[in-house]
Structure 1
């Protein structure tokens, strides 16, 4: 199949948490013989912060962030069997969705792929005239990268024909165990951009515990934290390129995942970092969210904390040998059940079957 995919960025993870998800799932999907073209706007200074060059398994078109650039990008969907409009492209999202629907061909699939379903659903729930809400009945399928039944039921309730989660996973070729790097040695590290519905949880799960553990070293990675008040034992790293994630994970006693408010409330929304950290063999600590045990077993494959006091207690009591055992158990589970190659088998079958069913129902 020919697939035209309109997303935020495949080439850059700068202010773009979906980058590793796009790379992992599309690389694995391309291995099934599909021809993929990814269209991304030249926006938010991402092109000067590229993590990768255009890969062999996907053609990438960078278009100008302007109405004319959008129009030219939409020309690329002609002849595609599957057209995907992702959430959070970041420039002219509504115009892109309208353009995709206007230019769609009867024999092709038209999908919306939501990489931040809790936030998207909150937007359309509060706005009956939201362009996506009005468009759902015209789309062939909605895909999400998480959310479970609360998300799929909500999308169907708003008029989607169907909604299927394609969960985050691990690309072992990109995220894997490496030796520690002295620059990133810490008792606990966290990597995540500063976002409104994450900041308060970072304060609760990282910054306040750090202030109570003055003898421990904490690393805070991600964009936007430069002016955030922190205790002196918190080292701010700024943006951390994807190629550095393995070293960052491998060098910490514990790596912390902190869900955004909306994803924690929705549940069944494992961030890419959950799989990246476990895939590196590091000891993962995460805040609690419903559905976690579907992916990793609490206490054996991942540490689970419900508040900052749990973080403090865990760091004070955790033996390095126990941390290593948790890291290895998590790595084994992720490699066994949660790789992008496994997700792509599911996605390939879904797209092939859905396209065949649609074409079988078209007039001769």
Structure 2
């Protein structure tokens, strides 16, 4: 791409990870785009308590505009975005999503592409499939591009069947400047750590692959991080971390003998949809245990760079058999793989190619 583009990006939040698993994806990708000469304005709502729980002040990868949760404030942002090269509306903004889905299309004109960036494509597609008259279903053919943060052929083909002109998966990755190995910290030392907000479509997996594993291994120490677990009674060997801010991710990932990744149900069904935490953990040299999903080998080699479990029993077996030496060896192999193939610098090139 011969010149830098001006992006107007409407997303959940760049400055806060509070109830916002997309934040590190946005941060790494936009930093890489900025490094390649592109300019980004990121529009985010004052919603879900995120502005009160910022963990990124004065980001250098984008100009951030925070708007109020009302139509007038959104319209001001849309006016501000007029005339840029690329307008992006992400899924899951968290305020006036349906309104924005329609209104951003009014910014489309010669010299301006409008993109829908689906941060949870499997969930979106399952939701739209249930309702032939869903408003977003009618809008899909009008976007210049559909980009997704996960999904392989099943997602791409499903979007094309719904009339998408162009659909490309831009997978999560690692930003080596923010997620990297650090010295272990005793407060995060454990046999297995799981970081994830409490979500209805993942809870059964957490029950089977984390809480029951903890009960079956009472002499092992487990750590639980994320929002929403405050009311859940946990086994006595599970320590609560609450929300883990970005500045502590590396310490958790570098201190645990193994880190657990569990998918939302729809992500697992569609496959090819690793979460950003997979790459964050691998970027810190952590030994990762993930629930099974189709396409895992596209990102990490099972048995050498990642441990795959098809049940809670298999998670428990991995934890029991894993020696510190094996964990360290696997973590280092995963780190080499993501640095070679799965950084946001790689993804920024993919974005440029997708936009033409």
Bin for the TM-score computed over the shorter chain: over 0.9
**Is the aligned partner of 1:330 residue 2:347?**
no
Q: Partner of 1:345 in structure 2?
A: 349
| Alpha-carbon distance in structure 2 between the residues aligned to 1:282 and 1:32 | 29
Contact in 1 for aligned 2:168/2:354 (Cα 8 Å): no
Contact in 1 for aligned 2:27/2:61 (Cα 8 Å): no
Give the drift of 1:244. 0.6
Contact in 2 for aligned 1:284/1:302 (Cα 8 Å): yes
**Is the aligned partner of 1:237 residue 2:238?**
no
Q: Partner of 1:148 in structure 2?
A: 152
Give the drift of 1:349. 2.9
Contact in 1 for aligned 2:83/2:107 (Cα 8 Å): no
Match of 1:292 among 281, 289, 296: 296
**Is the aligned partner of 1:305 residue 2:327?**
no
Match of 1:210 among 206, 211, 214: 214
- Where 1:186 maps in the other structure, the secondary structure is coil
Q: Once superposed, which parts of structure 1, at least 4 consecutive aligned residues long, lie more than 3 Å away?
A: none
- Where 2:192 maps in the other structure, the secondary structure is strand
- Where 1:169 maps in the other structure, the secondary structure is coil
Q: Partner of 1:105 in structure 2?
A: 109
Give the drift of 1:103. 3.4
Contact in 2 for aligned 1:275/1:334 (Cα 8 Å): yes
Which deviates more, 50-59 or 177-186? 50-59
Q: Partner of 2:260 in structure 1?
A: 256
Give the drift of 1:102. 2.3
Q: Partner of 2:38 in structure 1?
A: 34
| Alpha-carbon distance in structure 2 between the residues aligned to 1:169 and 1:103 | 30
| Alpha-carbon distance in structure 2 between the residues aligned to 1:292 and 1:323 | 19
Alignment TM-score, normalising by the size of structure 1: 0.95
Q: Partner of 1:279 in structure 2?
A: 283
| Alpha-carbon distance in structure 2 between the residues aligned to 1:52 and 1:11 | 5
Give the drift of 1:288. 0.5
Q: Partner of 2:83 in structure 1?
A: 79
RMSD (Å) for aligned C-alpha atoms: 0.9
| Alpha-carbon distance in structure 2 between the residues aligned to 1:81 and 1:147 | 26
Aligned residues: 352
Give the drift of 1:155. 0.3
Match of 1:20 among 17, 20, 24: 24
Match of 1:114 among 118, 130, 141: 118
Q: How does 1:2-21 map to 2 (within 5 A)?
A: 2-21=6-25
**Is the aligned partner of 1:136 residue 2:102?**
no
Match of 2:62 among 37, 44, 58: 58
Give the drift of 1:106. 3.2
Give the drift of 1:312. 1.3
Give the drift of 1:32. 1.5
| Alpha-carbon distance in structure 2 between the residues aligned to 1:207 and 1:56 | 39
| Alpha-carbon distance in structure 1 between the residues aligned to 2:61 and 2:11 | 16
**Is the aligned partner of 1:269 residue 2:269?**
no
Q: How does 1:163-178 map to 2 (within 5 A)?
A: 163-178=167-182
Per-residue displacement from partner, 1:10-61 (whole Å, max 9, x unpaired)? Answer: 0001000000000111110111111110000000110011110131221000
Contact in 2 for aligned 1:32/1:348 (Cα 8 Å): no
| Alpha-carbon distance in structure 2 between the residues aligned to 1:137 and 1:64 | 29
Per-residue displacement from partner, 1:138-189 (whole Å, max 9, x unpaired)? Answer: 1101000111000000000001101000110000000000001111111100
Alignment TM-score, normalising by the size of structure 2: 0.97
Per-residue displacement from partner, 1:259-314 (whole Å, max 9, x unpaired)? Answer: 11111111000100000000100111111000000000000001111111111111
- Where 1:197 maps in the other structure, the secondary structure is coil
Gap runs ≥5 in structure 1 = 354-364
Q: Partner of 1:91 in structure 2?
A: 95
| Alpha-carbon distance in structure 2 between the residues aligned to 1:194 and 1:300 | 30
